[in-house]
Structure 1
Amino acid sequence: MADVERTISLHAVAVQHIVLVASLGAGCWAVPRAYGITLVGSPTHVLLTIVPILSAVTLLTYSLGPMRDTTTWVATRLARGALGLVAGAVLFHVLAVLYGAPLIDKALNTHLWGWMVSCLAVAPSACVLGGDGDSWRRLYARASPSGFKEAALCIPAHGAVLGAWMGAWPIPLDWERPWQVWPITCTVGAVLGYIAALGVTHVVGWWMYTPKLKQKHL
């Protein structure tokens, strides 16, 4: 992976992650609340709010932020991030349908949900890794990051996907709650899984990689 060994500041990555969580908060809660809508009452409108905010923040922070690949132009990083975002949205849309999401009914919701999960799980790596197939396989087929930078890509992506999958569990239960519909629980699951994984990322970073980073400066 290009630039994988560059020493990056854990504090700088923490700031980047705070910005990403803030964008999720704005899209999921602050902006919809200003318009009097909620995810349960108007999932389409809330997802239409989340997707553009999260897409812009994700592409900009991973193309310009501390985890950027400094061996390429900004325009290149933005372009490959955008391509990865679109490809990931299509992939997650197809996977959702294969796992039981409505094919025709709520197709827009499915696409917007896929786009949101792609922002969390695919676009960051697309910006940073580009087309480095070996790194993609190592991070997502084997889950074997070689340093903090790779861990900060791998762990949140797995957290978002795992959270989305776990979010599907309540849908078929006979609780008859208004939120037990596609894609509300999977949206909440993806967001919570992603945020939890960000926390895990920094625990892992301080525990495993901070001593190594300090040693490099001795």
Structure 2
Amino acid sequence: MKEAEIRRLLAANLLCVFSVVLTAVVPAFFWDGFTVLGTHLTWLCVCSVCVGTLNIILHLVVKPNLTPKRSSFAQKISRFLKCCIYFFISCILFHVITVLYGAPLIESVTETFLFAVLLSTFTTLQCLCMLGPNIQVWIRVFSKNG
């Protein structure tokens, strides 16, 4: 990796950390009685939306995967819909994994699913922004011999 790419990656990750800290501090100024523990469902939603929005904005600004060929509007819509489907599948998978590790299935389904969305936002969304919805690229990046 080039030094400039490492700096951009570091800056992007620092912005993500900064956005998480802001989601714990800023809502308290606008909402009476807001605490991360007391209103944890709202905080999970706000944190997921802020980090997801930041990742998408960084992807649009940095444009890491420029393709040499031009794509049509229909291909862009198809790619976007695939990314949405993959993100939803990752939310379901994280939800199942969280339940298998002992999270309550029936009593706290909202909390568990919002936690899964937060995990997907931090992991899958960044990979979707960088790699796109191409399964072969994902396998090549995340496999042992890739």
Given residue 28 of structure 2, which amino acid in structure 1 is its aligned partner? R
Q: Counterpart of 2:92? A: 90
Deviation (angstroms), 1:106: 1.4
- Are positions 1:38 and 2:35 aligned together? yes
Deviation (angstroms), 1:39: 2.4
Deviation (angstroms), 1:48: 2.0
Given residue 62 of structure 2, which amino acid in structure 1 is its aligned partner? P
Length, aligned pairs only: 138
Q: Counterpart of 1:58? A: 55
Which has the higher relative contact order, 1 or 2, with Cα contacts under 8 A spaced 6 or more apart?
Answer: 2
Aligned with residue 130 of structure 2, among 103, 128, 145:
128
Counterparts in 2 of 1:21-32, with a 5 A limit? 21-27=17-23, 29-32=24-27
Check 1:31–1:85 CA distance in 2 against 1; reply closer, same or farther (3 A cut). farther
Q: Counterpart of 2:103? A: 101
Deviation (angstroms), 1:33: 2.7
* C-alpha distance after superposition, 1:48-80 (max 9, x if no partner): 22121122112222x324362111769566555
Provide the alpha-carbon RMSD of the alignment. Answer: 3.0
Aligned with residue 116 of structure 2, among 111, 114, 117:
114
Q: Secondary structure at the match of 1:122?
A: helix
Aligned with residue 13 of structure 2, among 8, 12, 17:
17
Given residue 65 of structure 2, which amino acid in structure 1 is its aligned partner? D
Provide the rounded CA distance (Å) in 2 between the counterparts of 1:31 and 1:80.
33
Provide the rounded CA distance (Å) in 2 between the counterparts of 1:66 and 1:12.
8
User: Which blocks of at least 5 consecutive residues in structure 1 are unaligned?
Assistant: 146-218
User: Which blocks of at least 5 consecutive residues in structure 2 are unaligned?
Assistant: none
Check 1:23–1:79 CA distance in 2 against 1; reply closer, same or farther (3 A cut). farther
Given residue 11 of structure 2, which amino acid in structure 1 is its aligned partner? V
Could you tell me whether the CA contact under 8 Å between 2:83 and 2:133 is conserved in 1?
no
Deviates more, 1:113-122 or 1:35-44: 35-44
Given residue 119 of structure 2, which amino acid in structure 1 is its aligned partner? V
Provide the rounded CA distance (Å) in 2 between the counterparts of 1:49 and 1:69.
28
Given residue 137 of structure 2, which amino acid in structure 1 is its aligned partner? S
Check 1:78–1:20 CA distance in 2 against 1; reply closer, same or farther (3 A cut). farther
Given residue 110 of structure 1, which amino acid in structure 2 is its aligned partner? T
Counterparts in 2 of 1:117-196, with a 5 A limit? 117-142=119-144
* C-alpha distance after superposition, 1:20-66 (max 9, x if no partner): 22221122x123432332222221121122121122112222x3243
Q: Counterpart of 2:45? A: 48
